Amino acid sequence: MSGFEIIKRSKKYSARQGKIMTPHGIVRTPNFMPIGTRGAVKLLSSQELKQAGVQIILANTYHLFFEPGIEVLKKFRGLGNFMKWPGPILTDSGGFQVFSLNEWRQVLDYGVRFHHPKTGKEIVLTPEKVIDLQKIIDSDIFMPLDECIPYDSSYKKAEKAVKRTICWAKQSKKAFRFRKQNRPLLFAIVQGGKFLDLRERCAKELINLDFDGYALGGLAVGEPFKETRRISKKIVSLLPSNKPRYLMGLGEPSQLVWAVLNGFDIFDCVLPTRNGRHGLIYIFKRLKKWRLEDLLKKKFYQKISIENSVFKNDKSPLDKKCGCFACQNYSRAYIHHLFKIKDPLGQRLAVIHNIYFYLELFKKMRELI
């Protein structure tokens, strides 16, 4: 049966170790989702993701709606079959994308109206339609359509967005109907910009509606991290402790540690993949002993730029202690060379390593909780 179970709670912190049961398998928490917006975690195959230890990936309803489109996804009976990814998928609704990418959008009480990015055709997305699309994608964790506003929006604008987000969440819940017990999960998204009272109101109303999990949206969008901390620390304390909590869009490994220790369970971020493509590699520092407080207080990792000429003759792997495919097989010198000659294999190896690094960090945190 699908749901969430807490296995262990940290004595010192609010961190929890748990598992999310979904139709396509179990996700151990805390955990990290690599981003496969359009049904591809850039440069990597589904087999490589599995091999790197990935348990769940994130895809985006808005983008998949355009490419490959509904007909293809229907034909394949879902994105997992299409991309040969056997595990769980969380689908972001696309609210954020509609608001950030589409200049011609119009927010109406019943949904959003915008122009197709390529054909210019008018499209309307309603909360119900977004749920139906996620059914076609055969997602494991659905996100409802929400109104995502810039972090520095005015109180009035934020308040209006909160009202809509709550209203759309209600409609989404109505449209989300499954008879089978092993059904997907539906999360709700807490919005409210930088205003704590609005965030609190939004959280409380959504909790009353009883969702399978709760996400914090509209953060990690460029605001200073101390702001992210201020909002998320307060809101996480209001969220039910028996439901998974998702902090959307965070972030740097040190930020993720902070969020896990404050009670968040799942995360997604472009950093490991995007940085990898740019030759920026995450490497653990050698700590004598791994303890949660050290991860929180000490600099436990560094980033190196593999394109730097100091690696030209370096026979060691990216990280001597790393078990990833790249480190097991290739030297820094070779990956440096691949970046120099702009062969995509270099980027692939860097991304494989970075994803492995992120997942190792989460594995370590799970063991330490």
Query: Which positions lie near Zn ion, rule CB under 5 A?
Result: 322, 324, 326-327, 353
Across 10-145, where does the E strand assignment appear? 16-22, 25-29, 31-33, 57-60, 89-92, 106-108, 111-115, 122-125, 141-142
Closest approach of Zn ion to the CB of residue 327, in Å: 3
Cβ proximity to Zn ion: between 118 and 286 the closer is: 286
Read off φ and ψ for residue 317, nearest 5 degrees. -70, 175
**Local structure of residue 119 (DSSP, 8 states):** T
Strands of the 122-125 sheet, one edge to the other: 106-108, 111-115, 122-125
For residue 324, what are its two tokens?
Answer: 């990833």
What one-letter code names the amino acid at 77? Answer: R
CA proximity to 57, closest of 73, 40, 35, 39: 35
Closest approach of Zn ion to the CB of residue 356, in Å: 5
Closest approach of Zn ion to the CB of residue 357, in Å: 7
Catalytic annotation, pick one of 140, 146, 268, 319: 268
Cβ proximity to Zn ion: between 164 and 353 the closer is: 353
Closest approach of Zn ion to the CB of residue 281, in Å: 8
Cβ proximity to Zn ion: between 127 and 272 the closer is: 272
Look up 268 and say whether it is catalytic: yes
Cβ proximity to Zn ion: between 64 and 324 the closer is: 324
Cβ proximity to Zn ion: between 322 and 369 the closer is: 322
Catalytic annotation, pick one of 92, 140, 146, 212: 92
Cβ proximity to Zn ion: between 247 and 324 the closer is: 324
Look up 92 and say whether it is catalytic: yes
Using CA of residue 40, residue 44, residue 45, residue 50, what is the dihedral sign? negative
Across 203-321, where does the E strand assignment appear? 213-216, 245-247, 266-268, 280-284, 301-305
Cα-to-chain-centroid distance, residue 108:
27
What one-letter code names the amino acid at 100? Answer: S
For residue 142, what are its two tokens?
Answer: 């659905």
Please, what is the end-to-end C-alpha distance for the chain in angstroms?
Answer: 25
Max alpha carbon distance in the chain (Å)? 61
Task: Please state, in angstroms and rounded to a whole number, the distance separating the CA atoms of residues 363 and 30.
Answer: 8
Closest approach of Zn ion to the CB of residue 47, in Å: 17
Closest approach of Zn ion to the CB of residue 282, in Å: 9
The answer to whether 24 and 140 are in contact (CB under 8 A) is yes
Catalytic positions: 92, 268
